[in-house]
Amino acid sequence: MFELAAFMAPLVAGIAVPGALAWTAGRPPSRRAIVAGAATGALLAIVALASIGHPVRQLGPVLAITLSVAMLSAAVALLAEAAGGRPAVAQLCGGLAVCALYASVVLFGPMLDHAATAELDGPAVGRRVTLLLELNPLSTAAIDVFRDDLYHRPVFYALDFASYQHEPPRWTSAVGRYALLTAVVGALAAGVFVLRRRLAG
């Protein structure tokens, strides 16, 4: 139950947080932050309850991954809103951004084809494999947090990335990547918002 909650929590957060922002569109920023924070907190509490009976060392990484993904989805939604998108459109953009993280496995095929065409060496391919694994909340949690060998599952084995030497995904690196993306997208959102206000004034 805890593993299922851990795998799904970032996706749920990526849908719930932009939804909370869309629901509070037009209200004071503090009010919006409280509602979005409450939605995230409730989800984290559910994950914590599901972790009862499991090693405590697994809970922290799962909560960190979920929170960082929630913040990234919020930043994307706010960027879409700052660009003039309707609340529903901004909500959709935030949710799709997280869905794209989960769908990063579909990029293995094109990435490996490009690597073969460009004649990239083994280490270069390995770094790309690790990057795609770390962008995916599911693979990061499964491999690094729960020590679940996904490489021999039919859906992953067919992708053929296990034959390339690479570093396993680390949840700390994944959270760092999400935080960096959040900072970049958040800065863009703030910049677009200020620019629109000046142009309107």
pLDDT at 157 over 60: no
Question: Could you say which DSSP state residue 27 is in?
Answer: S
Question: Could you say which DSSP state residue 83 is in?
Answer: T
| Residue 147 pLDDT class (50, 70, 90 cuts) | confident
Predicted local confidence at residue 130, as pLDDT: 83
Domain ranges, residue 104: 2-200
| Residue 126 pLDDT class (50, 70, 90 cuts) | confident
Residues in CB range of 15: below 8 A, 6 or more apart: 73, 94, 95, 98
Q: What is the mean pLDDT of residues 56-78?
A: 95
**Which position has the higher pLDDT, 173 or 121?**
173
CB neighbour class for 69 (10 Å; exposed up to 12, middle 13-18, buried from 19): buried
One-letter amino acid identity for 104? S
Predicted local confidence at residue 125, as pLDDT: 78
Q: Based on the structure, what is the number of domains in the chain?
A: 1
pLDDT in tens, 161-187: 666 677 788 999 999 999 999 999 999
Q: What is the mean pLDDT of residues 73-99?
A: 94
pLDDT in tens, 99-119: 999 988 777 777 777 776 777
**Which position has the higher pLDDT, 69 or 122?**
69
The answer to whether the CB of 133 falls within 8 A of the CB of 159 is no
Predicted local confidence at residue 154, as pLDDT: 63
